[in-house]
Amino acid sequence: MAETLFGMVLGFVATAIGLPVFFTLLKMLGFYTVVEERTCRVYVLFGSVVAELREPGLNFLWPKLGWRALIVHWVGRVHVVDLRLDQQYLRSLAVNSEEGAPMGIGVWYEMYVSDPVRFLFENADPRGSLAANVSNATVRSLSNMKLSDMLESRHTMSRTVRAEVSPQSHAWGYKLGSVYIRKVHFRDTEMIRQIEEKVVNRLRQVTSAIRQDGANQVSIITSTADRQAAVEFAKAAALRPQIVGAALRRIGEDPEVLNVMFEVLELQRLMASNAAVTLVPQEPTGGGLIGQLLAARGVPEPVKGR
């Protein structure tokens, strides 16, 4: 039992240590290598490129390099080139418009390595050279443009810069992707202030014009409404006598209604005049107010008919 346990421990230790060492030796002897996704391995031996591996995954070197695979890791060099998409932004590249205005242009572009061998050996600093090429192409192709075109046609400017840069970037192993003019701005602060003043003044003029136009429209609407109202009131005033006359004519056809109406009107005028009104009760015997006053003073009432 002890021997079995010892054998298991020994086998585990041998597997845990021996397998990594074994595969490391195979790798050092150039038997195989692993290429990661979006990377490339360039093998250089005695100053010459002997292999270029782009296929991701497990690659066996002996069928490709032959006897050179045994020594390429010892006396040669292996360059791992990143093939992933990269991007860079160049800020405020100085150009002048056709009118002489100093302008700044921000250029964003993306690129990736299309030829690893040229990328490694054609240029000592391909990324810096590409940035300088993009900068020079931007200044060369976009200078002396009209200021209005420079502020409005960014898509055309982007295509122009890309057409200028692409051929040279291929020679350095780079392939240029999209190029986009992200920002166009004024570099002279005094010019910026003057433009801001012009914009502010123009906005004030436009605001004043809009306000005045609104006031004029309101005035036109008001005057039109007043005129139409005056016309309608005049029509109503012209029709009022006719309507009142027709109503009085219909009322006059019935004498009782006519008398009641005049009594009501008389009472309304009395109430409206604020005059003192004395109400005398009606005598049931027919003596009247004078008889009552004489009876109250002791004077005989005059005989009727004398």
Region 157-183: mean pLDDT is 85
d(CA 236, CA 239): 5
- CA dist list (Å): 112 to 23, 53, 162, 172, 178: 33, 17, 14, 11, 11
pLDDT digits (tens, 9 = 90+) for 13-44: 878 888 888 888 888 888 889 999 999 999 99
Give 119-128 pLDDT, tens digit per residue: 999 888 888 8
Query: What is the pLDDT averaged over residues 142-154?
Result: 85
Beta bridge partners of 103: 95, 186
* pTM (whole model) above 0.85: no
pLDDT of residue 17: 85
H helices of the chain, where?
Answer: 2-28, 62-65, 72-75, 116-121, 126-142, 147-152, 154-171, 189-252, 255-273, 288-297
Residue 154 has pLDDT above 80, yes or no: yes
| Arithmetic mean of pLDDT, 295-299 | 65
pLDDT at 288: 62
Residue 96 in this model has a pLDDT that exceeds 90: no
Structure tokens at 89: 């932004």
Instruction: Dump pLDDT digits (tens) for 220-271.
Output: 999 999 999 999 999 989 898 889 889 888 888 888 888 888 889 888 888 8
Residue with tokens 């069928």: 63
CA distance 66 to 238: 120
